[in-house]
Amino acid sequence: MSLNSYTEEVRDFLRKISSDNENNQQKIEWLREEFTQLQYAVEGSDMPKVQHQLYDMMYLLFEIAAANDLDLDSEWKIGAERKAEKYIKAD
């Protein structure tokens, strides 16, 4: 499944619950809260909780992408190419 597919899935869900999905600042605050919970889960080696926190954070990121009509697939490709150029040495 592509990143844009997940973005669309989140967008569809938000429409079904009549969410306007406009407040990016609120989402950033929620990401901070989720990150704090992730830190505690990692420190406690609670892998099921780590997994859940990562899901929550990704969902919020997909909400931001949906609200702003971002193309995460193209950005992933660009980012992968940049990383390869920077970190993978040609023989």
Whichever domain contains 16, its CATH number is 1.10.287
Domains held by the chain: number:
1
- Render pLDDT for 6-51 as a digit per residue (tens, 0 to 9): 999 999 999 999 987 778 999 999 999 999 999 999 999 999 999 9
Report whether 63 contacts 18 (CB < 8 A). Answer: no
Residue 45 is part of which domain span?
A: 3-87
Alpha-carbon torsion (18, 67, 2, 87), positive or negative: negative
Question: Do 85 and 49 touch, CB atoms closer than 8 A?
Answer: no
Q: What is the pTM of this model?
A: 0.89
pLDDT grade, residue 5 (50/70/90)?
A: very high
- Cα 46 to Cα 44: distance, rounded to the nearest angstrom: 5
